[in-house]
Every structure is written in structure tokens, then in C-alpha cells.
A and B are shown apart, each in its own frame.
Chain A
Amino acid sequence: MNPIYLDHAATTPMDPEVTKEMLPIFEVYGNPSSIHSFGRKARQLLDQSRRIAASSIHANEKDIVFTSGGTEADNIAMIGTAHANQHKGKHIITTVIEHHATLHTAEYLEKQGFKVTYLPVEENGQIELESFKAALTDETILVSIMAVNNETGVIQPIQEIADIVKDHQAYFHTDAVQAYGLLDLNVNEISIDLLSVSSHKINGPKGIGFLYIREGVLVEALQHGGQQERKRRPGTENVAGIIGFAKAIQIAQQKREERINTYQAYKQSFVETLEQEAINFFVNGEWEKTIPSTINISFPGTNVESLLTNFDLAGIAASSGSACTAGSVEPSHVLSAMYGSENERTTNSIRFSFGLANNQDQIIEAAKRVASIVKRLVK
């Protein structure tokens, strides 16, 4: 059966336009740090890409630091600001639903003597602003809250969070890896101090990302060495990767409205088809508060493992959204946070995420295949 890829939140296929942009760059292979003109040519391409990345979030180009991906961006944002600002206090606020790049980094910082508050979320998947406000103390130096959750697609109220943090000494970092490209992220209007983005989630190459660091924010580098990225991220720049990333950014900017509408329509028809097939299911998280490309669905009477195995056999590539170890799928930490760890949604939910590899027919076909498997499993 021809496979249908519904796991764009895990990673996306590279846009052919991006490949086309990258291939000639391997001929301009100079080192951007070289002082000769062949190096400067590479430097120009790099600068151009930096301007594209910056303008996508209305930032200054010198505030963009290219990294090896979202994980590195999150690590620099958190470890870098924690270490550089510990004289102001040692308290950090994050949420229980963050990606492991944030959660594991927060746990590491706890071992380093930082105190971390992990905010819970409501049943709709969002944090509660009053408890957030209450968690802020004079000791708080960093607030790290993701813009969109990778399992549920639920959007956090980052504008409100930013407004609260604005008058506080703490910096506001948002992991925008899942939000970028579909949400409007304007760092002039929303007072975000640090923002992480990953290229492979927006049809760019893997191994590239960027961290926005607002001018004046104190950050220690994670790596040391050359002068690259203003010393905030040394190492010979992955020029072709950065240029591919910039192309993916440009396309995402141009097609933002179109993609929002398309993916919203996919999501709608996916759910409608499931309804027509008359199977029992619940959408996790509040529909209006989720990003168009992602939907997380609970199928009562089933479990994640057999769902995923059967989906895969039927050519449906979806995911549980949680880490899988040696074939056994652990209950989702995100759904546990929303519904309680005893709730069966934590073990019978699947994330479907739409994107470039899809078309309308596929979505309906996929929903039909899903429905027939679910019917078989709950019998």
C-alpha cells in the first residue's frame, strides 16, 4: 500500500526548491572566515541568509545565531542564560510539557544548583497565567515556555506570557520549533528575548537551526573556539545548510497563509472522515488553540503500540509523539499533564501531522485506513 506520511512534526521532507538552492552552493565552498575573496563570497551568502532569518521574525540580523538544530538552540538559550545571569538569581520557570531538549536541559541545570519550577497545564493544553504569575519570584532569571507543543499542537499564550515577563528581570525564551512558519512570530510586538527554530521542521535540511538572542541579553556560549557567530556558536559555518534553511524560510513566509488554509482543511477533512466512518474518538487539546498542521487523537479501547504497528502496516506514518524505547511506548508526559496520568488517553492517542508530503486525497484515504484499523481493534 502506498505510504502516507503524517508525521511532519517529527521531521519534514526537504522542499525540492531547497535542494535546488543548495546544490550550487557546494561550488562556492570557501570558508566564510577566510580573508580572500573566495571566502568572502561564502560570507556574503551567509549574511544574506542571516537577513532572511532575521526578517522572518522582525529581528536584527546580528541577533540571529545559526546552530546545528533546535536542540542546540534550546541548550544555548537555557544553559547560556542561566550561567551568565546566576548572579541575579537561580530560579527558572518552564512547563511540564516541553520537548526533551528543554526538559532535560532544565534537569541538568537543577543538578547545577538552579531551582526549576515546572508549570502544569490545563485540560486544554495551555498553562494557566495566574499560576505562572505566582511562580515568578525575585530570583527568577529565565522563563522557557514553548510556543507550540510538539505532541498536541496546542499553542501557548506567548503574547500574554511575554507581557508578564516584560517588566521582570527574567528573560523569556520560547521554543518555537513547532510554531515557526505557521504562527506569526514578531519579536518587536511580542517581547521574546530568545527564540529557537529548527530547519528540518520547515522542509529545510537537517542539522541546522537558529537561536534569536535579543540585543543585550547575557548569554554564555556552550562551545568555544573560533570567531564564528560572534563567538556565540563557533565552528566553520555549514554554509550550504544555512542557505537551504534560508530558502525554506523564504518559502514558508511566502506560503504561510496558503499553508495555514491547506493544513486546516486537511485537519478538518481528516476528522470529518473519521466521523463519517462512525468510530469513537476524541481530539486532545482545544481545537481552536491548536496549530493547523497537528492533531492529536485519542481512540478509546485501543493502545498506542497496536495502533502504530497496524498503521505502519497499512502505510500510515504517524506517531505517539512520545519517546519510544525498544518498541515499548511510554505514556505521553504531555497528555498525562493535561488529563492526569491515569487517564487512558495517555496510552491510546496518536499524533497526526500534515505537510508538504500530503494532498487532500491522501488525507481522506489515510483517515479511512485509520478508521478501519480502529474498528478492527476495538471489536
Chain B
Amino acid sequence: MIYLDNSATTKPYPEVVESFRQVSEKYYGNPSSVHSFGTEAEKLLRMAKQQAASLLHVHEDEIVFTSGGTEGNNTAIKGIALAHQNRGKHIITTQIEHPSVLEACTALERLGFDVTYLPVNKQGIVSVEDVKNAITKDTILISIMHVNNELGTIQPIKEVGAIAKQHPKLFFHVDHVQGFGKVSIPLHDSGIDLCTISGHKIHGLKGTGLLYIKRNTTIFPLMHGGDQEMGYRSGTENLAGIVSLVKAIRLYFDHANTRTNHVKRLNEKLRACLSEINGLVINTPDHDYVDHILNFSLPGFKPEVVIHALGEKEIYISTKSACSSKQPDESVVLAACGLDKAITKSGLRVSLAYDNCEEDIEAFCEALKMIRNQLSEVMG
């Protein structure tokens, strides 16, 4: 099997699975319980939080463990909107956000909020000027992703953070699900108030994630109950999941240097191979992108057909984000870049991880060439 769909989800590190197993077996107590089973679980939870905080260079009480990126984004966006609506009801985001941001925003529109969806340029990057100009006295939240999940483009988060800092009354949320560990942003003193991270995109487990919430930021919780996680997130803590998430973060950081170089080489090789294929158009720009994601189109070829043919050879890539794969044909992200229909309806995404090798890229390119030729013959 050649798995080139690492932006949809990644294979958990063996060490992550092992810590999940160990914690499940040895620390099954409920951290809220006062007896020794509970206090031991509580201690472990504290340690996990301390470790996460020190890895992210933030305070312990700024980490809220969640069930994943979708929950992180929903908690951040609705949480800020509902808690601060008396100050204003305007939200700024972009047209290329993940559905968990876009749809959280449309849900707020139904509640009377006003949302600006900023456009992006042909390279899929939002303009800092546009962000600045969109701010009104009613703006309470800016939500922009760091790395786009379909294109791999990097958004100017640092610059937007600087702008946000000049407007102390508004909050800045970053969906960092695809960028975390790949492009670094210091959270401290960055103008960022909230930042979403998901475990299963960095070789952690599905159903784990964390939301950074800067000190003194009030948000309205999505769920009510036992007031776990400082009241931000009620529900019995998934301790084994939490510990395994922190493990994944640590390993992902530890491997950063070797991984970065390795994936960069794979990306170069991939770009070189793909440029030899007739008619293939690379959509990811050649600047401000991450090496893990490469988006391209084969105009005239239905992406599902290509994916199916590759799947028969046990090579796995994707069309758009897995979450919106059920929407018909067109990629919303590519469309937002103002690309032709022929391109937006034939987008494919390869996404890489540390465990891919050069042979994977070669085999994929060979297979794609062959499939392209076979399909061209069929289509005459």
C-alpha cells in the first residue's frame, strides 16, 4: 500500500498507540474522583497538560483538550461569538476555510451574526490588506487557517496577528490543524487568542485534539455539564487519548528536522515527476506552501475515476478534503482561487508524511501516467 493521503488522516505512531494502551490499562480512574484511582488519573492529566503547555510555550491553563479539530473550531468560533455578541456581531474569515469553520460561521449567520468571507488570490492566499479593511467597530472575531488543507498554501498569520494586536477588542482564531508542527507560529505574544490542533493529522489518534485559549479570554462553552477542563469543555476526560496526543506532539516536534528535509525532497521529486505528465496542472503555488501537500488537476479527467484506478493499485490520494468529499464535483477552494472550471472540477491532492519514501513517489507517478494514458484511450 502507498498512502499519500496524510492530510485526511495519518497513521498513528506506534509509541502513541502504546501510550494509549498503557494509560487505558493502568489509569482508568476518573480524574474527578477523590480516591487514589482518581487522583492518580488527575495527576497524569496535569502532567499531560504541563507537557503540552511547555511544548507549545504557553501556560498550562491555556490548554483545553478536545475531541478533535472540528470541536476545537466550533468551540472557538461559537464560544467567542456567543460570549462577546454584546460588543458586536461581525466576524471575518476566508472563503477557503475548512467546513468546520465555514459552517460554524453560517450557523452564526442564522443567529444574526454578520460574516465577511474574504476572497483569496489565484495562489490561494488571503490579502493582509483585505483583512485590515474588513475590520469594523463591530468585529469581534477573525478566524483564518494557517495552512489550507487542499492547496497547502500558508496564510499570512503573523501579519494578521500583528493587526489583531492593534485591535484589542477583537479575538483572533487560527485553525492550525494542517499547519501544526509543519510551519511554526509562536503562540505567545502573536496576537493569536485561540488556536485549534487535531491529533490524527500528526500521527496521533482520531478523537483527540486541543484548543489553545489565551489567558483571560472568555468563551461560551459548547457543552454543559461537569465543568471539566476549567469549564470550557464538560465531559469525562479521555485521559488515554489526551496522553497519547501529547506523546504525538512531542514525537512530531522531535522528528521535525529530519522530517522537514525528507518531505521537502519528496515534494521536489513529486513536482518534477508530475511536470512530465501531459496536460497536468499544478495548483499549489511555488511560494508560501508546505511540502506536505501538493494539489494538481488533470483537466478532462474525473478525479473519482483517477482515484479509483489508483486505488486498484493500492495507491491512495484524494480529491478535496475528506470532510467535504460528498459535495458534488467542484472544489470550493480551487473555485475561490478563481481557477477555470476545467481545473476546479479535476483537482487531486497528494499529501505526504515522514513514512513515505522516494519509491512511493516514483510508483505513484508511474501509475498516474499509465492511468492517464489508458483513460485518454478510452475517452478517445
Chain A interface residues (CB < 8 Å from chain B): 3, 5, 7, 10-14, 19, 23, 26-27, 29-31, 33-39, 68-72, 74-75, 99-101, 104-105, 107-108, 198, 200, 205-208, 222-228, 234-241, 308, 311-312, 315-320, 323-324, 327
Kindly state the separation between the CA atoms of A12 and B137 in the bound complex, as whole angstroms. Answer: 51
Note all chain B residues with C-beta closer than 8 A to A10. 29-30, 32-33, 38
Verify B17–A23 contact, CB threshold 8 A. yes
Verify B311–A236 contact, CB threshold 8 A. no
Within 8 Å by CB of B21, from A7, A13, A23, A238, lies: A23
Kindly state the separation between the CA atoms of A207 and B239 in the bound complex, as whole angstroms. Answer: 8
B300 CB–A CB distance under 8 Å: no
Within 8 Å by CB of A236, from B37, B70, B74, B237, lies: B70
Note all chain A residues with C-beta closer than 8 A to B225. 71, 74-75, 99-101, 104-105
Note all chain A residues with C-beta closer than 8 A to B3. 38
Interface centre among B10, B32, B98, B225 (most CB of A within 10 A): B225
Which B residue sits closest to A225, measured CB to CB?
B100
Verify A206–B241 contact, CB threshold 8 A. yes
Verify B235–A226 contact, CB threshold 8 A. no
Note all chain A residues with C-beta closer than 8 A to B310. 36
B379 CB–A CB distance under 8 Å: no
Verify A19–B25 contact, CB threshold 8 A. yes
Note all chain A residues with C-beta closer than 8 A to B237. 206-207
A206 to chain B, nearest CB (A): 4
Within 8 Å by CB of B238, from A104, A207, A224, A234, lies: A207
Given the contacts A225-B99, A318-B35, A100 and B226 also touching, CB distance less than 8 Å: yes
Given the contacts A34-B325, A72-B235, A104-B225, A11 and B28 also touching, CB distance less than 8 Å: yes
Verify B67–A235 contact, CB threshold 8 A. yes
Within 8 Å by CB of B68, from A19, A39, A198, A235, lies: A235
Within 8 Å by CB of B69, from A3, A72, A235, A319, lies: A235
Note all chain A residues with C-beta closer than 8 A to B378. none
Given the contacts A72-B235, A240-B206, A319 and B67 also touching, CB distance less than 8 Å: no
Apart from A31-B9, A225-B323, A241-B207: 13 A-B pairs, beta carbons within 8 A: A19-B24, A26-B205, A34-B322, A37-B316, A68-B71, A69-B235, A72-B235, A100-B225, A101-B225, A206-B240, A222-B222, A225-B100, A315-B36
Which A residue sits closest to B201, measured CB to CB?
A236
Query: Which 6 residue pairs spanning A and B have beta carbons closest together?
Result: A238-B207, A207-B238, A225-B100, A226-B323, A235-B70, A71-B235
Given the contacts A31-B8, A234-B323, A317 and B36 also touching, CB distance less than 8 Å: yes
Note all chain B residues with C-beta closer than 8 A to A240. 205-207
Kindly state the separation between the CA atoms of A238 and B225 in the bound complex, as whole angstroms. Answer: 22
Note all chain B residues with C-beta closer than 8 A to A7. 29-30, 33, 35, 37-38
Given the contacts A206-B239, A206-B241, A227 and B324 also touching, CB distance less than 8 Å: yes
B318 CB–A CB distance under 8 Å: yes
Question: Which residues of B from 230 to 260 have beta carbons under 8 Å from A?
Answer: 234-241
Within 8 Å by CB of B36, from A3, A35, A99, A223, lies: A3
Kindly state the separation between the CA atoms of A295 and B222 in the bound complex, as whole angstroms. Answer: 33
Note all chain B residues with C-beta closer than 8 A to A235. 67-71, 100
Verify B12–A26 contact, CB threshold 8 A. yes
Question: Which residues of B from 97 to 126 have beta carbons under 8 Å from A?
Answer: 98-101, 103-104, 106-107
Note all chain A residues with C-beta closer than 8 A to B226. 71, 100-101, 323
Note all chain A residues with C-beta closer than 8 A to B106. 224
Kindly state the separation between the CA atoms of A241 and B24 in the bound complex, as whole angstroms. Answer: 12
* 25 residue pairs A–B, Cβ–Cβ below 8 Å: A7-B30, A7-B35, A19-B21, A26-B12, A29-B200, A33-B322, A35-B307, A35-B325, A38-B3, A39-B316, A68-B67, A69-B236, A71-B234, A75-B225, A100-B224, A107-B224, A200-B236, A207-B238, A224-B106, A225-B323, A226-B70, A237-B206, A241-B205, A241-B241, A317-B37
Interface centre among B1, B73, B241 (most CB of A within 10 A): B241
Which B residue sits closest to A30, measured CB to CB?
B9
Kindly state the separation between the CA atoms of A111 and B8 in the bound complex, as whole angstroms. Answer: 39
B171 to chain A, nearest CB (A): 19
Interface centre among B24, B106, B207 (most CB of A within 10 A): B207
Verify A224–B103 contact, CB threshold 8 A. yes
A26 to chain B, nearest CB (A): 5
Note all chain B residues with C-beta closer than 8 A to A316. 35
Verify B71–A223 contact, CB threshold 8 A. yes
Which B residue sits closest to A316, measured CB to CB?
B35
Which B residue sits closest to A242, measured CB to CB?
B207
Note all chain B residues with C-beta closer than 8 A to A237. 206-207
Which B residue sits closest to A18, measured CB to CB?
B24
Verify B317–A29 contact, CB threshold 8 A. no
* Chain A proximity mask over B1-23: 1 for CB below 8 Å, otherwise 0: 10101001111100001000100
Interface centre among A70, A208, A223, A318 (most CB of B within 10 A): A223
Note all chain B residues with C-beta closer than 8 A to A227. 323-326
Within 8 Å by CB of A208, from B30, B207, B316, B322, lies: B207
Note all chain B residues with C-beta closer than 8 A to A320. 34
Verify A236–B206 contact, CB threshold 8 A. yes
B162 CB–A CB distance under 8 Å: no
B197 to chain A, nearest CB (A): 13
Which A residue sits closest to B70, measured CB to CB?
A235
Note all chain B residues with C-beta closer than 8 A to A205. 24, 238, 240-241
* Chain A proximity mask over B73-101: 1 for CB below 8 Å, otherwise 0: 11000000000000000000000001111
Note all chain A residues with C-beta closer than 8 A to B155. none
Verify B223–A319 contact, CB threshold 8 A. no
Verify B8–A239 contact, CB threshold 8 A. no
Kindly state the separation between the CA atoms of A236 and B236 in the bound complex, as whole angstroms. Answer: 20
Note all chain A residues with C-beta closer than 8 A to B323. 33, 225-228, 234, 236
Kindly state the separation between the CA atoms of A208 and B225 in the bound complex, as whole angstroms. Answer: 16
Kindly state the separation between the CA atoms of A320 and B30 in the bound complex, as whole angstroms. Answer: 14
Verify B311–A36 contact, CB threshold 8 A. yes
Verify B8–A33 contact, CB threshold 8 A. yes
A354 to chain B, nearest CB (A): 15
B319 CB–A CB distance under 8 Å: yes
Verify B35–A36 contact, CB threshold 8 A. no
B130 CB–A CB distance under 8 Å: no
Given the contacts A23-B21, A104-B224, A225-B74, A31 and B99 also touching, CB distance less than 8 Å: no
Question: Which residues of B from 28 to 69 have beta carbons under 8 Å from A?
Answer: 28-30, 32-38, 67-69
